[in-house]
Amino acid sequence: MSGKHGEWVYETVEEMGARFGIRATEKLLDEQTPYQHLEVWRTERWGNLMLLDGVMMLSSLENYLYHEMMAHPALQTHPAPRNVVIIGGGDCGTLTEVLKHREVESVVQIDIDEAVTRAAERFFPELTAHNDDPRVSLRFEDGVAWMKNAPSASVDVIIVDSTDPIGPGTGLFGPDFLADCHRVLREDGIMVGQSESPFYHLPLMLDYHRAMKAAGFAERRSLLFPQPVYPGGSITGTLARKAGPLDELRPLADEVVTRYYSTALHRGLLATPPFMQEALGEV
């Protein structure tokens, strides 16, 4: 839920009794799409800011943190990622990061809401500049249904860059969808999904691990990283590999230029903090 007081744009997390605000200067877009309420604001210090259903999705200033972490850890863990599927990700920031990898031959992105991509083209053009890369195929349909119908053992890397598990994003956290992801990945395939904050949404994170385990992903690892516009200022991306370890990674190629991700950082983030380890021990 967001409330506006003057020029402040707020995201409120009722269950945590918390509210985060960013001062805006102008509302650039206010659209009720068939799926969600889409807003874009011009802000004083954060560049443009996109919200879906009152939840902050990305700002120009710091979206690289999230997008790099949704793309590179999974791609660097896979021995030879050629075919990538992104579920959600309509702002195309994760797609931009995936395309930096020359070994990737095809990327299919499935977002339910075309309006998000059209808004990104207008207000975050730096994220959509490579959408005409011949390796890219953009589809606008439900990711849950797409995955259900996808052929088995046909994809190397699945990236679930979804909204929170409310509204259209709900199914992307569920056991049926994750079981389909497991089936669609090749034998050495890997997936990563945004799995919220361990400070704000620990039960959700634990449910996500349980569902991944039930789907057949023996090993999972939640990498905790900063994301200032998300509740609590940080978020996790949970990696799960069909077979093989999660702590063997290829060093980043020189042509993949990043601002947050590095091989050394990736190794460090694989060390789950004790408070998360303790909670995950129950899974």
By CB under 6 A, residue 22 contacts ligand SAM: no
In one-letter notation, the amino acid at residue 68 is: E
- Binds ligand SAM (CB under 6 A): choice among 40, 74, 75, 87: 87
* Contact partners, residue 127, CB within 8 Å, separation at least 6: 63, 67, 91, 92, 93, 95, 96, 120
SS3 246: coil
Catalytic residue among 53, 156, 161, 180: 161
**Within 10 Å of residue 272's Cβ, how many Cβ atoms?**
17
- At CA 230, angle to CA 169 and CA 209, rounded to 5? 55
By beta-carbon proximity to ligand SAM, the closer residue of 146 and 250 is: 146
By CB under 6 A, residue 112 contacts ligand SAM: yes
Q: What are the angstrom distances between the C-alpha of 196 and each of 31, 34, 100, 150, 230?
A: 25, 25, 25, 26, 9
Active site residue 161: yes
By CB under 6 A, residue 116 contacts ligand SAM: yes
* Contact partners, residue 5, CB within 8 Å, separation at least 6: none
- Cα 92 to Cα 120: distance, rounded to the nearest angstrom: 8
Is 142 annotated as belonging to a binding site? yes
Annotate each residue in 119-138 with x if it binds ligand SAM (CB under 6 A) or - if it does not, as one string.
Answer: --------------------
CB 38 within 8 A of CB 24: no
- Binds ligand SAM (CB under 6 A): choice among 73, 168, 193, 237: 168
By CB under 6 A, residue 96 contacts ligand SAM: no
- Binds ligand SAM (CB under 6 A): choice among 11, 53, 97, 161: 161
- What is the residue whose two structure tokens read 């939640």? 222
By CB under 6 A, residue 194 contacts ligand SAM: yes
By CB under 6 A, residue 63 contacts ligand SAM: no
Residues annotated as catalytic (active site), given as ranges:
161
Q: Which residues are annotated as a binding site for S-methyl-5'-thioadenosine?
A: 36, 111, 142-143, 168
Q: Which residues are annotated as a binding site for spermidine?
A: 67, 91, 161-164
Instruction: Report the interface residues with ligand SAM, using CB under 6 A.
Output: 57, 87-91, 110-113, 116, 142-144, 161-164, 168-169, 171-172, 194
